[in-house]
Amino acid sequence: MPTFVYMTRCDGCGHCVDICPSDIMHIDKTYRRAYNIEPNMCWECYSCVKACPQNAIDVRGYADFAPLGHSVRVLREEKKGVISWKVKFRDGREKNFESPIRTTPWGSIKSPSDYDAPSEEAFKSQELAHEPGALNIEKLPALTPDKLKQGVV
């Protein structure tokens, strides 16, 4: 359907509502559980599927071109830094894949204000934060205006 939600698994926690980039996961007022209110604005990005603590959300491919009987399931283990996929074909064949998602602990990125404050001269230079050091070359490349020309090249 893009995404849909299993009635018996969803506990209405709203993680999917918080994360959906398309604002289409909403809580049904009667059942107090989430559902996809606008399947034709779903990108099948799986953001809600990955965020669901109950594994209650799944995807059924777009009805206009995806025959039934397939599934693409995901398990995103944030602390382990790994994502695993199980792809099941309509005819039953299966493929499994696993990839790393992050090499550092979550929350470990330093704020830019934790670095030494830039000098007054740095404000006037073309260098951005952490340059030229973070470029891993000696200095920021530059051009001079005398190279300008018009016409077809």
Partner 1 sequence: MGLLSGRKTVYVDSDVLVIGGGMAGCGATYEARYWGRDLNIVCVEKANIERSGAVAQGLYAINCYMGMQWDENQPEDHVRYARNDLMGLVREDLGYDIARHVDSSVHKFEEWGLPIMKDPETGRYMREGKWQIMIHGESYKPIVAEAARKAASKVYNRIMVTHLLMDKTKANRVAGAVGFNVRTGDFYVFRAPAVIVAAGGASHIYKPRAVGEGMGRTWYAPWSSASAYALPILAGAKMTQMENRIVLTRFKDGYGPVGAYFLHLKTYTENAYGNEYESNWYENTKELVGDYIDRHPVPTCLRNHAILEEVKAGRGPIRMVTKEAFQDPHKETIGWENFLGMTIGQAVVWASQNIDPKHTNPELTTSEPYVMGSHATCSGAWASGPEDYAPDEYQWGYNRMMTVDGLFGAGDTIGGTAHKFSSGSFAEGRIAAKAAVNYVKDLGKGRPQVDEAEYQNLKKEVFKPMENYEVGRNEIVAGTVSPSYLLPIHGLQRLEKIMDEYVGGISAHYMTNKPLLTRGLELLGMLKEDLDHLGAEDLHQLQRAWELQHRVLASESVTHHTMFRKETRWPGYYYRGDHMKLDDKDWHCFTLSKYHRETNEWEMEKAPVYHIVD
Window 31 to 50, contacts with partner 1 (CB under 8 A): 37-47
Q: Note if 85 is an active site residue.
A: no
Question: Among residues 48 and 56, whose Cβ is nearest to partner 1?
Answer: 48
In this structure, what token pair is assigned to residue 136? 């891993």
The verdict on 14 binding partner 1 (CB under 8 A) reads no
Contact assessment for residue 93 and residue 69, using Cβ atoms and an 8 Å cutoff: no
Least Cβ distance, residue 72 to partner 1 (angstroms): 5
For residue 110, the 8-state DSSP code is P
Kindly indicate which of the ranges 4-12, 27-35, 97-105 contains the residues binding partner 1, using the contact rule CB under 8 A: 97-105
Per-residue CA distances from 130 to 2, 116, 117, 118, 140 (Å): 42, 10, 11, 9, 11
CA distance 52 to 11: 10
Only one residue has tokens 């382990």, namely 80
The verdict on 30 binding partner 1 (CB under 8 A) reads no
**Size, binding site for partner 1 by CB under 8 A:** 88
Q: Of 6, 32, 40, 43, which residue is the catalytic one?
A: 43
Question: Among residues 7 and 140, whose Cβ is nearest to partner 1?
Answer: 140
Active site residues: 43
